[in-house]
Structure 1
Amino acid sequence: MTDYYQGSLLDAGVAPEIQPLAPERTVLSNGAWVDVRPGWISGSDDVFLPLQTEVPWRADSREMYDRVVDVPRLLAHYGVGATLPHPLLLTAREMLSDHYEPELGERFATAGLCYYRDGRDSVAWHGDRIGRGRSGDTMVAIVSLGAARRLSLRPRGGGPQIGFALGHGDLVVMGGSCQRTWDHAILKTARPVGPRISVQFRPRGVL
């Protein structure tokens, strides 16, 4: 991938480093919550750039109504026991597991990556309800690298939205009943925006 990327001035000349994990929690309805830690990974541009060029990104398609359409983003997945594409991601996953295991009851085990090349790439409203997230509380931890995009959330079935602009090493963790009772999305935007990579850490059996 060679999409142009303009890095953060705050990351210029800064070696990648994970900062203390002290997220701020927003309590939602129906037992859902969201933790946010801005700038959790400092110097994150030096993580974004090798992922952008070295991850074996794949383009997927899906059947929608009477036709097959391209998924508007590129994807990669690292299952249980797979070697992650950057050593800092392994450190991040272990730190997240150490922090959240007392509440989650297990450790994060997999990593899914999404590459949003520009504002035309997106993910529609959804919850991670394939697998165990359909019937029980769980967590999904997302590290955002590259340009900021808005993560929007709303109650399942519709309602007032909230959102967070995430990029350049920011962390968001959706927990409790969030995957069952709320939906989230990265919506298309017509404004100029650079590429973004999201890294989603999940427990075993949550998709």
Structure 2
Amino acid sequence: MTAAFQASLLDLAEDVRPDALGGTVRRTTLCHGAWIDVRPGWMLGADALFEELVTGVPWHAERRQMYERVVDVPRLLSFYGEDQPLPHPALDAARDALDEHYGAELGERFRTAGLCLYRDGRDSVAWHGDTIGRGSFQDTMVAIVSIGAPRALLLRPRCGGGPTLRHDLGHGDLIVMGGSCQRTWEHAVPKTARPAGARISIQFRPRGVR
């Protein structure tokens, strides 16, 4: 599997690892008890990590029921459950760092990792919240590390009437959606007609959240 993207001129790290969190995270409080944290460029060596994951992960396509027909999911996927080794040591280090930073607030550890490969601007994910499981009725966190070319991640209140927020994420950026965000807000990666390189998102979640 190969995918083209333009490397960042700022990503000059010789090793692949997460940087410090601490006071570098910027939190935005949303309505209805939701919040998001953003840490640009958190994963050092993100472009090298992209190259290793795009060729080394067992990506697969899925088809899903959509109303009265079955359609192709417009991105490639790979999922690592609690007992499965992650595909790169940097992902273990990222999960450990997230546990250390958010463990007291979350009250549990991040357990799973879901990977999505957006090959170009035609790949996308529709408006949704991670509400399969406990996210539908409990506050939780979902941490997403984006590597590869930046793509827009949009967020909007599920009840409508509020602003749509946009974050262009790639090259090692981290976003964490917390509080009630999964059940009171929705997020999406829309298709784009503009030239777009490939992006991988790595979603760390606690047990029972999908």
Deviates most, 62-71 or 114-123 = 62-71
Q: Is 1:180 the counterpart of 2:183 in the alignment?
A: yes
User: Structure 2 matches for 1:75-94, cutoff 5 A?
Assistant: 75-94=77-96
Aligned to 2:8: 8
CA-CA distance at 1:157 after TM superposition: 3.2
Q: Provide the C-alpha distance between the structure 1 equivalents of 2:100 and 2:146, rounded to a whole number of angstroms.
A: 20
TM-score, normalising length: structure 1: 0.97
CA-CA distance at 1:6 after TM superposition: 2.2
| Secondary structure, counterpart of 1:72 in structure 2 | coil
CA-CA distance at 1:12 after TM superposition: 4.6
Aligned to 2:174: 171
Percent identity reads 65
- Unaligned 5+ segments in structure 2 are none
What residue identity is the alignment partner of 2:188? A
Aligned to 1:120: 122
CA separation of 1:99/1:3 partners in 2, compared to 1, >3 Å: closer, same or farther?
Answer: same
Cα RMSD (Å): 1.0
- Unaligned 5+ segments in structure 1 are none
Q: Provide the C-alpha distance between the structure 2 equivalents of 1:127 and 1:24, rounded to a whole number of angstroms.
A: 22
**In structure 2, which of residues 94, 97, 102 is the aligned counterpart of residue 95 of structure 1?**
97
Q: Provide the C-alpha distance between the structure 2 equivalents of 1:92 and 1:107, rounded to a whole number of angstroms.
A: 12
**In structure 1, which of residues 192, 200, 204 is the aligned counterpart of residue 203 of structure 2?**
200
Q: Is 1:135 the counterpart of 2:137 in the alignment?
A: yes
Q: Is 1:162 the counterpart of 2:165 in the alignment?
A: yes
Q: Provide the C-alpha distance between the structure 1 equivalents of 2:193 and 2:96, rounded to a whole number of angstroms.
A: 37
| Secondary structure, counterpart of 1:111 in structure 2 | strand
Q: Provide the C-alpha distance between the structure 2 equivalents of 1:9 and 1:117, rounded to a whole number of angstroms.
A: 21
TM-score, normalising length: structure 2: 0.96
| Secondary structure, counterpart of 2:74 in structure 1 | strand
CA deviation string 1:146-193 (max 9, x = no partner): 000011000003332011110000000000000010000000000001
CA deviation string 1:22-52 (max 9, x = no partner): 2100000000000000000122111111100
Question: Number of paired residues?
Answer: 207
Q: Provide the C-alpha distance between the structure 2 equivalents of 1:47 and 1:28, rounded to a whole number of angstroms.
A: 32
CA-CA distance at 1:67 after TM superposition: 1.7
Q: Provide the C-alpha distance between the structure 1 equivalents of 2:165 and 2:65, rounded to a whole number of angstroms.
A: 30
| Secondary structure, counterpart of 1:97 in structure 2 | helix
Q: Provide the C-alpha distance between the structure 2 equivalents of 1:13 and 1:78, rounded to a whole number of angstroms.
A: 26
| Secondary structure, counterpart of 1:109 in structure 2 | strand
Aligned to 1:146: 148
User: Structure 2 matches for 1:11-90, cutoff 5 A?
Assistant: 11-12=11-12, 14-21=14-21, 22-90=24-92
